[in-house]
């Protein structure tokens, strides 16, 4: 599925292209399912083009079977069931992936579930735990608690003994957050999350904020942070610019950071994959952590899947069924 020019979901259309051939250190995956992510929507709108060398086809995560190997790839990868983080090309029957960005699936894990993992897992691990240094005994504030990122962040944080506060826009979504294990769910439409955080933490504040909103939220997030707190930005859905009091940053000794995963080097992503495989993947293999699944659309229904994401009513991950096996 591709598009000729940016626009609404209706611009996505089927196209026939040659099957890509794996280069050095790459594998070719016959895609069973592909995950839908917010960056796909932003790319379709014309604001997040594929990085140099990446496929212009949307799709940042896939699950399927390795059917061809490039030079330098271990022969045992052929035929392996994997999920993979990719820089583009996921909305297709075949997709190239760096062999070092693949995770081998347990036999019991279905492809649709696997396709919902890589983008959110890599993003949360890198930003909450590597950049935000979340650890045992910390408190994390997550905005967008029922998004794919939010549901993953809640589960991973709880698995590593982090107290979780999450926001959402309805009582139904707040219930879903609590069911996932969040210690406090805040309806941001009816409650002031700054005051709720202060009350819950008895004025101590949170150690880490995972923010997808930016804009006016940044100053309010800073109010929520404890001394030596870390503010991590991963999206700017509420605006590119923020006005903050730098004296507060100095007084609290805060760290303001953020990242985008897609343009990072293959080497960085491979190191991230290795760390996840060692420290986090066993949680998925054992069933302690699993993506929250919202809806599955056929590949030709990618436009409808984008509409569903943009409507904002989903809880968890949206995936595309490509071959299904």
Count up the domains in the chain and report the number.
2
pLDDT at 324 over 70: no
By the 8 A CB rule, do 218 and 205 touch?
no
pLDDT in tens, 100-125: 999 999 999 999 999 999 999 999 99
92, 194: one domain:
no
90, 197: one domain:
no
Structural domain including 72 reads: 9-117+262-321
195, 219: one domain:
yes
- Higher-pLDDT residue of 325 and 34 is 34
Q: Is residue 4 part of a domain?
A: no
131, 243: one domain:
yes
**Which of 258, 280, 309 finishes a domain?**
258
pLDDT at 197 over 90: yes
Q: Is residue 44 part of a domain?
A: yes
Q: Is residue 158 part of a domain?
A: yes
Q: How far apart are CA 86 and CA 101, in angstroms?
A: 8
| Residue 1: predicted pLDDT | 86
Residue 223: CB atoms within 10 Å: 15
Which residue in 232, 205, 248, 41 sits closest to 142, CA to CA?
232
Q: Is residue 2 part of a domain?
A: no
Q: Is residue 148 part of a domain?
A: yes
3-state secondary structure 42-85: HHHCCCCCCCCCCCCCCCCEEEEEEEEECCCCCHHHCCCEEEEE
**Residue 155 carries which DSSP code?**
H
Which residue in 88, 26, 99 sits closest to 62, CA to CA?
88
* 291-294 long-range Cβ contacts below 8 angstroms, 24+ apart: 291/113, 291/116, 291/117, 291/120, 291/148, 291/151, 291/152, 291/316, 291/317, 292/146, 292/148, 292/151, 292/176, 292/180, 292/316, 292/317, 293/112, 293/113, 293/116, 293/317, 293/319, 294/318
Q: Is residue 49 part of a domain?
A: yes
113, 58: one domain:
yes
**Domain containing 174 — which CATH number?**
3.40.50.720
Q: How far apart are CA 56 and CA 184, in angstroms?
A: 40
pLDDT, mean of residues 153-170: 97
**Domain containing 96 — which CATH number?**
3.90.180.10
pLDDT at 129 over 70: yes
278, 165: one domain:
no
107, 202: one domain:
no
Percentage of the chain modeled with pLDDT above 70 = 99
pTM of the model: 0.93
pLDDT, mean of residues 74-82: 97
**Sequential DSSP letters for 227-255:** EEEEEEE---TT-S-----HHHHHHHT-E
Mean pLDDT of the chain: 95
- Which residues lie below 8 Å from residue 37, measured CB to CB, with a gap of 6+? 60, 61, 119, 120, 148
Strands 26-36 and 94-98: antiparallel
HSE of 72, CA atoms in CB hemisphere, 13 A: 8
99, 131: one domain:
no
314, 224: one domain:
no
**Sequential DSSP letters for 263-292:** TS-HHHHHHHHHHHHHHTHHHHHTTSS-PP
**Which of 258, 281, 303 finishes a domain?**
258
239, 131: one domain:
yes
Residue 166: burial class (beta carbons within 10 Å; 0-12, 13-18, 19+) = buried
Q: Is residue 177 part of a domain?
A: yes
125, 230: one domain:
yes
Q: Is residue 1 part of a domain?
A: no
Q: How far apart are CA 142 and CA 73, in angstroms?
A: 38
pLDDT, mean of residues 16-26: 95
């Amino acid at each position: 599925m591709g598009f000729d020019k940016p626009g609404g979901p209706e611009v996505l259309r089927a196209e026939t292209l040659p099957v890509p051939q794996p280069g050095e250190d790459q594998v070719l995956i016959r895609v069973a399912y592909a995950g839908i992510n917010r960056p796909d929507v932003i790319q379709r709108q014309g604001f997040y083009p594929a990085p140099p060398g990446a496929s212009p086809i949307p799709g940042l995560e896939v699950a399927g079977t390795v059917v061809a190997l490039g030079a330098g790839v271990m022969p045992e990868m052929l035929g392996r069931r994997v999920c993979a983080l990719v820089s583009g090309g996921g909305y297709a029957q075949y997709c190239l992936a760096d062999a070092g960005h693949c995770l081998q699936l347990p036999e019991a894990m279905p492809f649709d579930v696997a396709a919902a993992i890589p983008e959110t897992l890599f993003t949360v691990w890198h930003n909450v735990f590597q950049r935000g240094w979340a650890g045992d005994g910390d408190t994390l504030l997550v905005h967008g608690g029922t998004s794919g990122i939010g549901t993953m962040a809640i589960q991973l944080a709880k698995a590593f003994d982090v107290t979780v506060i999450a926001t959402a826009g309805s009582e139904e979504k707040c219930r879903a957050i609590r069911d996932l294990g969040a210690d406090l769910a805040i309806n941001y439409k009816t409650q002031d999350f700054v005051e709720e955080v202060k009350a819950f933490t008895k004025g101590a504040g949170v150690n880490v904020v995972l923010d997808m909103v930016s804009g006016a939220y940044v100053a309010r997030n800073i109010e929520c942070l404890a001394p030596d707190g870390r503010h991590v930005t991963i999206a700017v859905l509420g605006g590119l610019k923020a006005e903050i009091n730098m004296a507060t940053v100095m007084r609290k000794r805060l760290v303001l950071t953020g990242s985008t995963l897609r343009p990072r080097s293959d080497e960085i992503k491979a190191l991230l994959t290795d760390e996840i495989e060692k420290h986090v993947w066993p949680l998925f293999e054992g069933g302690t952590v699993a993506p929250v699944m919202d809806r599955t659309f056929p590949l030709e229904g990618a436009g409808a899947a984008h509409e569903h994401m943009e409507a904002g009513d989903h809880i968890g991950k949206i995936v595309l069924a490509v071959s299904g096996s």
